Chains A and B, each alone.
Chain A
Amino acid sequence: DTGVSQDPRHKITKRGQNVTFRCDPISEHNRLYWYRQTLGQGPEFLTYFQNEAQLEKSRLLSDRFSAERPKGSFSTLEIQRTEQGDSAMYLCASSSAPTGAWETQYFGPGTRLLVL
């Protein structure tokens, strides 16, 4: 299967702990996105990479959140000093589109985070 993969699928942590999630995009996709989904809502954009450059960050991405894509392949999303409000499904998506073309984003299975 060559779709988007995410690890871990589930994470339970205590408030104040740090957590890190990994996303492996579809091979050769140059764009990678992170979204967050809470119960009853649609996914909300967090941040976006083109190759290794982080080009856009949502105001939802507080200072406790950091994302990297060091070699333009996989990406990590770290949450420091987790809070109960961080409990959500964290989704990764990737796409490949020439500049100016409409792009379709393909999503991974998500990482469900529960902060106790």
Chain B
Amino acid sequence: DQQVKQNSPSLSVQEGRISILNCDYTNSMFDYFLWYKKYPAEGPTFLISISSIKDKNEDGRFTVFLNKSAKHLSLHIVPSQPGDSAVYFCAASAGTALIFGKGTTLSVSS
């Protein structure tokens, strides 16, 4: 039973356009959400996070939106760059351990 779901295995976007990656969760105890980026053969790299008391957090080209009533969060990347091509993982926490989705592979073409 997956508590964190990333329903789109892949996403293709043109350079300069917006990339929107989605994530749904089922556990209402989650109070902190994170996005990680992962290249092959490397560990996940932290991108951005949001706590449950906020509905938006922005850091440069990256913005995360949280809709608690829908148990949904999204990561927006604007503008997308070829170097953004990687696997993006959504993760949620209710205290210590992170629960991850299966990831979305983003491909940004120039």
Binding site for B on A (CB under 8 A): 4, 6, 31, 33, 35, 40-45, 48, 55-56, 58, 91, 93, 102-110, 112
Contact = CB atoms under 8 A, between A and B. Distances in A.
Interface of B is mostly: strand
Contact of A102 (B43, B46, B51): B51
Interface residues of B, number: 24
A106 B36 CA distance: 10
B96 A48 contact: yes
B44 A107 contact: yes
Interface in B21-79: 31-32, 34, 36, 41-46, 49, 51
Contact of A4 (B4, B34, B43, B100): B43
Nearest to A4: B43
Contacts of B101: 42
Contacts of A40: 102
Interface of B: 4, 31-32, 34, 36, 41-46, 49, 51, 89, 91, 93, 96-103
